[in-house]
């Protein structure tokens, strides 16, 4: 689905991605693990065309996404669920859900969204501010499914959430994968991605330092934990 090669990106004058390379195959869950400031969000924002300057290649079906505008990238069926979740606090759950435009063919229908997120139906009339952190995260994922995206970029979806909610997010990611979606899952928690991702990439100082198949992950846990330790 995406092949990233020699990716460099800048926040203003600050060079934050240094020749990053990774593959995100269609239908797979790919994790991107790294500590604070490693460049995880910068990678996602660069895929979406949101960083001011970037060079290299992000190949999507023969097109280099670096040559496209953010709206054109969204039309390719790629959507970002940002760290701050990006929902509108003063709008109701239902308003939040129906606000995003369907930009790519095959946006998930409402019945399927409610099946995947039963809470969202129950909380339909509540405002964004009245939702728990877990409900906000569910709504944020539901919103990007509405747009028709087939590649979901999830930026630390479990951050700050209680273990029982983290389990619900894991269930949603498994079900999304079963439905054929592709997921790039940015995390700092190795135990969360261990049973979810097919491929794991480790990022440090804006570059990929290791790639692990899911079968190799358990044996490499010490190394992964050292990389993530602050
Ligand atoms: N708006 C910004 N302007 C300038 N530099 C930034 C900006 N946002 C992040 N950076 C810097 O870019 C580098 C990569 O940051 P990035 O946000 O991608 O890290 P991250 O891996 O997502 O970390 P975290 O786990 O804290 O979310 C860091 O050195 C960070 O300080
Ligand atoms: Mg981040």
Q: Where are the domains of the chain?
A: 27-40+77-228
Predicted confidence (pLDDT) at residue 105 exceeds the cutoff of 90? no
Please work out whether the CB of residue 205 comes within 6 Å of at least one atom of ligand 1.
no
Predicted confidence (pLDDT) at residue 81 exceeds the cutoff of 90? yes
Predicted confidence (pLDDT) at residue 149 exceeds the cutoff of 90? yes
Q: Strands 53-60, 63-64: parallel, antiparallel or unpaired by DSSP?
A: antiparallel
Cα(28) to ligand 2 centroid in Å equals 21
Mean pLDDT across 128-148: 92
Predicted confidence (pLDDT) at residue 100 exceeds the cutoff of 90? no
Cα(210) to ligand 2 centroid in Å equals 19
- pLDDT tens column, 43-71: 999 999 999 899 999 999 999 999 999 99
Query: Which of 7, 11, 156, 159 for mutating ligand 1's site (highest number of atoms within 8 Å of CB)?
Result: 11
Which numbered ligand comes closest to the C-alpha of 82?
Answer: 2
157 token code pair: 């979806």
Distances (CA, A) of 96 to 74, 145, 219, 230: 18, 12, 42, 36
Q: Running DSSP on this structure, what letter comes out for residue 126?
A: S
Please work out whether the CB of residue 161 comes within 6 Å of at least one atom of ligand 1.
no
pLDDT more than 70, % of the chain = 100
Please work out whether the CB of residue 82 comes within 6 Å of at least one atom of ligand 1.
no
Instruction: Indicate which atom in ligand 1 lies nearest the CA of residue 43.
Output: 18
pLDDT range class, residue 151, cuts 50, 70, 90: very high
Which numbered ligand comes closest to the C-alpha of 34?
Answer: 1
Predicted confidence (pLDDT) at residue 93 exceeds the cutoff of 90? yes
pLDDT at position 71, please?
94
- pLDDT tens column, 169-222: 999 999 999 999 999 999 999 999 999 999 999 999 999 999 999 999 999 999
Cα(172) to ligand 2 centroid in Å equals 21
Predicted confidence (pLDDT) at residue 115 exceeds the cutoff of 90? yes
pLDDT at position 220, please?
94
Domain 27-40+77-228, CATH among 3.40.50.300, 3.30.565.10, 3.90.550.10, 3.40.50.360: 3.40.50.300
Predicted confidence (pLDDT) at residue 158 exceeds the cutoff of 90? yes
Q: What residue ranges in the chain does DSSP mark as E strands? A: 2-11, 14-24, 29-33, 53-60, 63-64, 78-81, 151-155, 182-187, 199-204, 207-213
Instruction: Please give the mean pLDDT across all residues of the chain.
Output: 94
């Amino acid at each position: 689905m995406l092949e990233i090669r020699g990716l460099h990106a800048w926040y203003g004058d600050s060079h934050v991605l240094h020749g990053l390379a990774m593959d995100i195959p269609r239908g797979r869950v790919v994790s991107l693990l790294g500590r604070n400031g490693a460049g995880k969000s910068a990678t996602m924002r660069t895929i979406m065309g949101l960083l001011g300057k970037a060079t290299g290649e992000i190949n999507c079906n023969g097109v280099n996404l670096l040559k496209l505008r953010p709206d054109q990238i969204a039309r390719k069926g790629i959507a970002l669920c940002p760290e701050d979740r990006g929902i509108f606090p003063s709008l109701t759950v239902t308003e939040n859900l129906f606000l995003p435009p369907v930009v790519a063919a095959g946006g998930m229908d409402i019945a399927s969204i409610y099946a995947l997120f039963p809470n969202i139906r129950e909380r339909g009339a509540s405002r964004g501010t009245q939702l728990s952190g877990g409900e906000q995260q569910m709504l944020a994922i539901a919103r990007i499914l509405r747009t028709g995206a087939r590649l979901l970029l999830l930026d630390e979806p479990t951050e700050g959430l209680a273990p029982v909610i983290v389990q619900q997010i894991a269930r949603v990611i498994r079900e999304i994968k079963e439905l054929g979606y592709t997921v790039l899952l940015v995390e700092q928690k190795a135990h969360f991605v261990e049973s979810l991702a097919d491929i794991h990439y480790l990022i440090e100082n804006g570059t990929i330092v290791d790639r692990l198949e899911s079968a190799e992950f358990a044996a490499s846990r010490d190394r992964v934990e050292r990389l993530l330790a602050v």
